[in-house]
Chains A and B, each alone.
Chain A
Amino acid sequence: MIAALLKVTDLTVVHDGDGGERTLLDAVSLDLAPGEVLGLVGESGSGKSLLCRSLVRLLPSSRLRISGGSITLSGRELTTAPEAEMLAVRGGEIGMIFQNPSSHLDPVMRIGDQITEGIRFHQRLDAKAARAAAVDILAQVGFPDPARQYDSYPHEFSGGMRQRAMIGAALSSNPKILIADEPTTALDVTIQAQILRLLMDIRARRGLSVILVTHDLGIVAQVCDRIAVMWQGRLVEIGEKRGLLAAPAHAYTRSLIASHPSLPEEDMPAKAEELRAPGAVPVVDIEKLHVRFATGGLFRRGAVDAVNGVTLRVMPGETVGIVGESGSGKSTLARAVLGLTPVSSGTIRFDGTDIASGRAVLGMLRRQTAMVFQDPFNALNPHLTVGKMLAEVLRVQGKIETAQIPARCGELLDLVGLGRAFLDRKPRSMSGGQCQRAGIARALAVDPKLIIADECVAALDVTIQAQIVELFRELVERMSLTLIFIAHDLAIVRNLCQRVVVMHRGVIVEEGRSEEVFSRPKHAYTAALIAAVPHIDPDKPLLAPSKMATPQADGVAN
């Protein structure tokens, strides 16, 4: 093996709080060879990001400190290096890119200048040479017209292009190591695939070492050489990716692999059976729905069709998944169905009644539908305890006697697997998964016919994701619910929903039974979406962009 470029030995980081020391990183050891890609996985709070920040000694709080261990970069000790030396290391030798490109790029500085800054500081080039170098980097990270785009501002680009710009800024000072902290989590799958490919390209071209932090085992399986698994501040397992994925040693790694929602491989036979019982009234019947939002200011008025002529029918007891990238209109559609967004044209019938026919119908809708939201913390009123929140819903809905409300609150919590101890808890003291369960309990408190879940697992760790999906499956079976499940994660939809609807730019491009759509996508866009999902099996590579738009580019192509 080649001598390690970066060597971390027994790195320990503690938090000095009121109640004494708390160990956040517990004797973490790893090394990184030149040109190697190391995947760092683990759930939120496991210390992945903290480890990365410790490497460049940028601890997020003054109460944190490195209490032991060593970090050596090309034989140089970093834990005791003077601050001036660290300035040269940060960016110069270790570059970083982050999850959210919008908040890590300066919004009032031209994209090119943000890259030039690093070049001038670390490589001491003059303004003209630096600009030329920056244009070169922009081209390398995939800007089609770098000389012109040099002068553009971050807001002029999409999320994917911004992430490219951030990678460019990190590369600008020619680092030996690139730390990428969840670089694709905020992006759509197709963009994610492009960014990952770009990272691999750059690695190949520059011989860069990469530490890739992610919670998605699929990504790690696709692009990394070795995998390190972190759990509760410790590095529980590290090893070559194939070996580790095939034979995980630690219990946590096993559960992580088990929770990964992979698309099943088997080619399901197409079933011709009709889903709809003849004569049944659809719960939701959407016809030629348009939802238009006004854009622009006083002088340049325009409108954008968020939902552009959607016709969809959902039968009682059905579980329908809606997938599509951000901006495809899935959430707008959901809100329109619940009467939360005004409809421009078209009709929505709930249980046979047009929801646009007056306040009484809207009231009826409110009593029979409920929504589960994406961000579990944002969806709960931070001032109310879970018990108060549920009791209020029950009281306002008035479906059960006041005297029975406390008992019902307890039942609801049992139903979502939280337990009655949570009646007195406020959202702030709960984890994301617990908050999401409380949110589901709130939806169930309505005793609804229809639940719409809008990206309700996107913000959760994979292990928690799997639990929430399982909970939905149970509830749907037990309570004969109709569920519309909106997600951008195809694998989850595939596992949970009988029927899937694929949306793209406000229109439904494909619709059908899940097995069928996923195994034999008819529309090119669906195929591209499916092909872009990183598979947990490292031998099923992400497909090249040229092939991505073709329907044949399915997982079975290899």
Chain B
Amino acid sequence: MSEPLATPALGRKGGFRRRGTLAAGVFLLGAFVVLALGAPLIAPYDPIAQDATARLQGPSWLHPFGTDNFGRDILSRVIWGTRIDLKIAVIGVIFPFLIGTTLGTVAGFFGGIVDAIFMRLVDIILAFPFLVLMLSIIAILGPGLASFYIAMALVGWVSYARLIRAQMLVLKNHDYAVAAVSLGFSRMRIMFRHLLPNAAAGSVVFAMSDAVLVLLNGSAISYLGLGVQPPVAEWGVMVAEGQAFVTTAWWITLFPGLAIVTLAFAFSMIGDGLADLFGVHE
């Protein structure tokens, strides 16, 4: 009786639903990327060119999404806005992710005083309402997207740090971590090469839903006049500008709003798909 040497791979066989969610999300996000990259070719009009003769026109064959109070084509502005909003979502997530993951890994792995310091820092940041903290930092740095990214990085990392730290606390007691120590691997190698890849799945999934929040935050900040400055086309700004006309010219707010929702939907589908793929729910 010998051990069968060729057992079939026990790979996770994703059902259609599981794979389908991820594929649909990636497809949708891909479509936005294409829009962003090809904006000059795809958009029918200049997004900031005003046309006094075509103000506040409803959707028509000439202007499928209508025009705003300056006669600017909404469709073109939504397409150009993709560039800004994708950037907000991506940059607004990447920096908190990197900072939080690194600090969380170190805190969880070393424990003790290092952990205590980082986690008290997390507590302090969490003690302030998120938006208030964001607004104060942006107010100090001055309005603009760069300030928004910095504020995001300073405030947003805490969730990632907590997630990764909790994972590390469990993983560092796994036998393969002990094995790595007994094999003479350096701490850096154990932390970042052996433990982090196993701890990161949850954070990657969270990053996807976080992208949605960041996107909405970016829009909210711009809406408050602290983010993207007019006349640049950004969905949040567009919603803010259209607010005055919402009863008479609904298309000014509706279409950029729909764009926000759709992009958010794409991210959350990818997040769900990844969660299934990594087995985070199991």
Interface size range on A against B? 35 or more
CB-defined A-B contacts under 8 Å, sample of 27: A19-B13, A340-B182, A366-B184, A367-B184, A370-B182, A371-B182, A373-B179, A374-B175, A375-B175, A378-B176, A381-B176, A384-B194, A393-B183, A396-B184, A396-B185, A396-B186, A396-B189, A419-B5, A425-B9, A428-B11, A431-B3, A431-B4, A433-B3, A434-B3, A439-B179, A442-B179, A467-B3
- CB-contacts of B1-32 with A (<8 A): 1-7, 9-11, 13, 15
Bound state CA distance, A374 and B179, in angstroms? 12
A396 contact set on B, CB distance < 8 A: 183-186, 189
Q: Which of chain A's residues has its CB closest to B180's CB? A: A381
Closest CB-CB distance, B162 to chain A, in whole Å? 22
Q: Which of chain A's residues has its CB closest to B7's CB? A: A431
B7 contact set on A, CB distance < 8 A: 429-431, 434
The answer to whether the Cβ of B198 comes within 8 Å of any Cβ in the partner chain is yes
- CB-contacts of B187-206 with A (<8 A): 189, 194, 197-198
Closest CB-CB distance, A469 to chain B, in whole Å? 13
B2 contact set on A, CB distance < 8 A: 467
The answer to whether the Cβ of A403 comes within 8 Å of any Cβ in the partner chain is no
Of the candidates B9, B13, B183, B189, the one whose C-beta lies within 8 Å of that of A429 is: B9
The answer to whether the Cβ of A186 comes within 8 Å of any Cβ in the partner chain is no
Closest CB-CB distance, B186 to chain A, in whole Å? 8
Bound state CA distance, A349 and B115, in angstroms? 33
B142-185 interface bits toward A, Cβ cutoff 8 Å, 1 = contact, 0 = none: 00000000000000000000000000000000111011111111
Bound state CA distance, A371 and B177, in angstroms? 12
In the complex with contacts A18-B15, A381-B194, A371-B179 CB distance below 8 A: yes
Bound state CA distance, A207 and B222, in angstroms? 78
Bound state CA distance, A393 and B183, in angstroms? 7
Q: Which 6 A-B pairs rank lowest in CB-CB distance, beginning with the nearest?
A: A366-B184, A255-B1, A379-B175, A429-B9, A373-B175, A378-B175
- CB-contacts of A372-396 with B (<8 A): 373-375, 378-384, 392-393, 396
- CB-contacts of A302-338 with B (<8 A): 335, 338
Closest CB-CB distance, A430 to chain B, in whole Å? 7
User: Is there contact, CB below 8 Å, between A340 and B176?
Assistant: no
User: Is there contact, CB below 8 Å, between B11 and A429?
Assistant: yes
Q: A335-B178, A429-B7, A430-B7 are in contact. List 6 more A-B contacts (CB 8 A).
A: A18-B15, A363-B184, A381-B176, A392-B185, A431-B4, A433-B3
A1-43 interface bits toward B, Cβ cutoff 8 Å, 1 = contact, 0 = none: 0000000000000000111000000000000000000000000
Bound state CA distance, A459 and B203, in angstroms? 32
- Residue in A251, A255, A366, A425 with the greatest tally of chain B CB atoms within 10 Å: A366
A440-478 interface bits toward B, Cβ cutoff 8 Å, 1 = contact, 0 = none: 001000100000000000000001100100000000000
A202 contact set on B, CB distance < 8 A: none
The answer to whether the Cβ of A418 comes within 8 Å of any Cβ in the partner chain is yes
The answer to whether the Cβ of A369 comes within 8 Å of any Cβ in the partner chain is yes
A428 contact set on B, CB distance < 8 A: 10-11
A418 contact set on B, CB distance < 8 A: 5
Bound state CA distance, A384 and B7, in angstroms? 18
Closest CB-CB distance, A227 to chain B, in whole Å? 18
Closest CB-CB distance, A435 to chain B, in whole Å? 11
Q: Which of chain A's residues has its CB closest to B179's CB? A: A379
- CB-contacts of A245-272 with B (<8 A): 251-252, 255, 259
